[in-house]
């Protein structure tokens, strides 16, 4: 064969390969699970939960082992995903609806500080991720939990063409089985599962918009409380807990509240699997439609698994704490990115990243122009997917509140392997080497005072520059009242939680006659 023809064949092969690498329509599916802990997946440390669909997605993705939410609670993290900014900069520092200043006293927790004010809806001046993609020709869709403002600040006000079930509430008002009691989600079948319904709506949108590039944001209400599942799945996970060996004690006392130490809640196990079933439904639909090669998939959570407060649902061990806490269990998350057109994608990485990075990453991966003045705290992670590195940078969290789960008002800076926590109650610092101590068991701040002071300075330089707000001392603080409250929690509350934990593991457990409505339609 003549060299001329060989060159033509090679050129054609290059063109075909390039087309395979870079599809014309690059779609985006973003899956956000609520309160889903770092170790709530079966491919990680636990032997209790079963998440085969999420596990398979992880195998097909780049797994970020050091992936973080931008807050220990939901609304701030969600705002960071939408804006590409850390919480202190965009101003939503607590879940929207949380009491502030003197209103906090109504909780009767008798704390030293009064939580600061925060912005209570997603500021309209931001160009959200949805708006940025819409400007690039994308059809945009949102389904599920929003919790970034009431009417006037809902998904349809921030760049989403379609909004299914996205309202101001942070939990499913009607629970996980129809009727849903959601003004933006019609009831179809009594007893229908909420997670599967949201997946169905997402699949319907994709089928109707597959000829154009689409951005589908599936934001599960699961696995937030109230935790509910079917009788069949409860029975399955009760048997698993029994076979694993039921611990006599499931809790230890934290600073303000008991902290769950074991994964043996059969209701929560069933709720997790219900959500995983829904993930499998949409992933299978994408493959059946032939869209798996040109659909970018992002999977993450908005904060850690719930170990205290709410339903005390899970354990994040070996990570310390959970939702609401300043420790790794409160902010470290499942975090996967699947970009099918990136060849030889890195399978896992230990580079620390946050939800704020997803905005520029998505734009970069679909070849849209970056908006550096908008996603000012986020960086594109595309180089990491290709096996390259990012420069070391400070990651910052700001939570000048107490919250419902037992965490303390504090701010955090992570840089490389080092993590500094600054506490507002007593102005103390804690320093951890996360490479050697992922469970944050040993504070080494006094052994590294120069590093501690330097990181604290860098933290507060950032907070000052963005105009961060801080908690204030409560002039009505009473030490004796707080100690009385804490003693009651450490005795009565702890005892009742242990009783409740064992109760739902009893063979005759029955929450009500229709199992939250799920008996009308088993899922």
CATH code, domain carrying 79? 3.40.720.10
- Length of the chain, in residues: 523
Does 244 fall in a domain? yes
CA distance 368 to 328: 33
CA distance 289 to 435: 43
**DSSP labels for 242-268?**
HHH---S--EEE-SSSEEE-----HHH
Does 128 fall in a domain? yes
pTM of this structure: 0.94
Residue 502 in 3-state DSSP?
Answer: helix
CA distance 289 to 282: 11
Which residues are 258's β-sheet partners? 253
CA distance 190 to 519: 10
**DSSP labels for 132-156?**
HHHHTT-EEEEEE---S-STTSSGG
Number of H helices, E strands in the chain: 14, 18
- List % helix, strand, coil for the chain (3-state, nearest 5): 35, 15, 50
CB-count exposure of residue 179 (10 Å: 0-12, 13-18, 19+):
middle
pLDDT at position 459 is 98
Helix (H) or strand (E) holding 430: strand 429-433
pLDDT at position 17 is 34
With tokens 């269990």, the residue in question is: 329
Does 419 fall in a domain? no
Does 78 fall in a domain? yes
Residue 55 is part of which domain span?
Answer: 25-392+482-520
Does 455 fall in a domain? no
Does 38 fall in a domain? yes
pLDDT at position 45 is 76
CB-count exposure of residue 253 (10 Å: 0-12, 13-18, 19+):
middle
The closest of 256, 253, 308 to 112, measured between CA atoms, is 256
Does 399 fall in a domain? no
CA distance 378 to 352: 12
Task: Return the DSSP state at 504.
Answer: T
**DSSP labels for 375-393?**
STT----HHHHTT------
pLDDT at position 520 is 79
Half-sphere exposure of 300 (CA within 13 A, CB side): 32
Q: Please name the residues in contact with 273: beta carbons below 8 A apart, sequence gap of 6 or more.
A: 49, 50, 51, 229, 233, 237
Report whether 78 contacts 149 (CB < 8 A).
no
CA distance 389 to 349: 10
Instruction: Please confirm whether the linkage preceding 318 is cis (ω < 30° from 0).
Output: yes
The closest of 266, 182, 190, 181 to 228, measured between CA atoms, is 266
Tell me how far CA of residue 40 lies from CA of 66, 134, 162, 321, in angstroms. Answer: 15, 33, 30, 14
- Token pair belonging to 486: 């804490």
C-alpha 282, offset from chain centre: 19
pLDDT at position 23 is 67
- Token pair belonging to 363: 């734009």
Question: Which stretches in the chain have pLDDT values below 70?
Answer: 1-23, 521-523
Backbone dihedral region for residue 98 (phi beyond 0: left; psi -120 to 50: alpha; all else: beta):
beta
pLDDT at position 522 is 54
Per the structure, the count of domains in the chain is 1
Strand ordering across the sheet containing 295-301: 162-164, 139-144, 214-219, 27-33, 295-301, 335-338, 62-64, 348-349
CA distance 471 to 510: 43
Strand 429-433 with 162-164, pairing: unpaired
Does 262 fall in a domain? yes
């Amino acid at each position: 064969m003549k060299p001329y023809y060989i060159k033509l064949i090679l050129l054609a092969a290059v063109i075909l390969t390039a087309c395979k690498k870079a599809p014309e329509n690059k779609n985006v599916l973003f899956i956000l699970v609520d309160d889903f802990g770092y170790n709530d997946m079966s491919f990680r440390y636990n032997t209790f939960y079963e998440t085969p669909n999420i596990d398979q997605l992880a195998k097909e993705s780049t797994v970020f082992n050091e992936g973080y939410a931008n807050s220990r609670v939901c609304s701030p993290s969600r705002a960071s995903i939408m804006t590409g900014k850390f919480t202190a900069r965009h101003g939503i520092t607590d879940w929207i609806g949380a009491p502030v200043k003197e209103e906090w006293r109504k909780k009767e927790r008798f704390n030293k500080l009064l939580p600061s004010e925060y912005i209570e809806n997603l500021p309209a001046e931001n160009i959200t991720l949805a708006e940025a993609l819409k400007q690039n020709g994308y059809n945009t869709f949102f389904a599920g939990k929003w919790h970034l403002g009431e009417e006037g600040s809902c998904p349809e006000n921030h760049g989403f063409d379609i909004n299914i079930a996205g309202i101001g509430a942070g939990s499913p008002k009607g629970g996980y089985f129809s009727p849903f009691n959601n003004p933006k989600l019609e009831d179809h079948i009594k007893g229908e599962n909420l997670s599967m319904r949201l997946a169905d709506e997402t699949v319907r949108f994709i089928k109707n918009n597959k000829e154009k590039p689409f951005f589908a944001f599936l934001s599960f209400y699961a696995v937030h409380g109230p935790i509910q599942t079917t009788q069949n799945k409860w029975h399955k996970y009760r048997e698993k807990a029994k076979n694993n060996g039921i611990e006599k004690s499931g809790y230890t006392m934290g600073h303000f509240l008991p902290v769950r130490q074991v994964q043996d809640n059969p209701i929560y196990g069933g709720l997790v699997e219900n959500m995983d079933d829904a993930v499998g439904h949409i992933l299978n639909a994408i493959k059946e439609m032939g869209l798996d090669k040109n659909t970018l998939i992002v999977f993450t959570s908005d904060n850690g698994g719930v170990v205290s407060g709410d339903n005390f649902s899970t354990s994040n061990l070996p990570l310390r704490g959970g939702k609401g806490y300043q420790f790794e269990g409160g902010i470290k998350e499942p975090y996967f990115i699947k970009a099918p057109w990136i060849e030889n994608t890195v399978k896992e990485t230990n580079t620390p990243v946050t939800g704020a990075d997803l905005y520029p990453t998505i734009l970069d991966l679909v070849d849209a122009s970056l908006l550096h003045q908008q996603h000012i705290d986020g960086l594109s992670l595309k180089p990491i997917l290709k096996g390259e590195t990012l420069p070391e940078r400070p990651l910052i969290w700001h939570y000048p509140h107490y919250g419902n789960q037992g965490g303390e008002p504090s701010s955090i800076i992570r840089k490389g392997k080092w993590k500094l926590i600054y506490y507002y109650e007593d102005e103390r610092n804690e320093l951890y080497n996360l490479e050697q101590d992922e469970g944050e068991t040993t504070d080494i701040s006094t052994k590294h005072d120069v590093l501690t002071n330097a990181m604290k300075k860098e933290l507060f330089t950032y907070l000052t520059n963005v105009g961060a707000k801080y908690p204030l001392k409560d002039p009505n603080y009473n030490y004796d009242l707080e100690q009385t409250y804490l003693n009651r929690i450490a005795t009565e509350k702890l005892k009742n939680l242990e009783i409740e934990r064992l109760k739902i593991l009893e063979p005759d457990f029955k929450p009500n006659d229709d199992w939250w409505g799920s008996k009308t339609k088993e899922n």
